[in-house]
Amino acid sequence: KPAPAAPPAVPSAAGITAPHQAVPNSTMRKVIARRLTEAKSTIPHFYVAVDVELDALLDLRARLNAASPAEGPDAFKLSVNDMLIKAAALTLRRVPKVNASYTEDATILYDDVDVSIAVSVPDGLITPILRNADRKSLREISAEARDLIARARAGKLKPQEFQGGSFSISNMGMFGVKEFSAIINPPQAAILAIAAGEKRAVVKGGAVAIATVMTVTLSVDHRVVDGALAAEWVSAFRAIVESPLSLVV
């Protein structure tokens, strides 16, 4: 009885001679590789970082969550990320020229603020979209984001739920990352990289104090967004986060 045929070998990369395994690239991984290579090779990125104090936002989050019913249809539990999504959406309304895309014939300024949120899935990354995020309440953003993330990880998103968007957010704060720069998600003109909040020494009124601070980095397409505009955007974002009542009024 002949032995069963061996599965076809996956070709190894040329020049790799050390012992290794070659894991076939999935369709998703190939699409990610193609799009990110396209983004870094065709979009002139530059980066603007700013430190943002989180204590007022954390206090507001605690008070809002404490006001939620313990259970039932009106119960909610806001995350910091929910509030930062809303802050970014409001910032895009205040500085709308960042809510844009570049084409050879024109700069596209989007009417709607549709925020793509980067979600890690078993074989890569996907960016479900919170449509009209600036018009939604924090509770609506929280419920919708939770649903989109769960269905993204289960592979149950519809194409229209992750294709498109006018701006992206990538949050790695839950991993304790101090700061990072994200690659733009074409054809969008910008992506915000959010790092971890941590206790840091800050100077207030000439004295040293302790505050919860996070570093955010805005990656922008220089064909659409110039330095002054990027600086205006991150300054407006910091102002909203540090005085967060505009998130609920």
Task: Give the pLDDT of residue 6.
Answer: 52
Task: Give the pLDDT of residue 146.
Answer: 96
CATH fold label, 27-247: Chloramphenicol Acetyltransferase (3.30.559)
Is a pLDDT exceeding 90 seen at residue 71? Answer: no
The end-to-end CA distance of the chain, in Å, is 76
2: confidence class by pLDDT, cuts 50, 70, 90:
low
pTM, entire model: 0.91
List the beta strands (DSSP E) in the chain.
45-53, 100-102, 107-109, 115-117, 119-121, 124-126, 129-130, 167-171, 190-194, 198-204, 207-221
Per-residue pLDDT tens over the stretch 225-240 = 999 999 999 999 999 9
Active site residue 222: yes
* Catalytic choice (200, 222, 223, 238): 222
Alpha-carbon distance 206 to 118, whole Å?
A: 39
- Looking at every residue in the chain, the average pLDDT score rounds to 93
Domain boundaries, the chain: 27-247
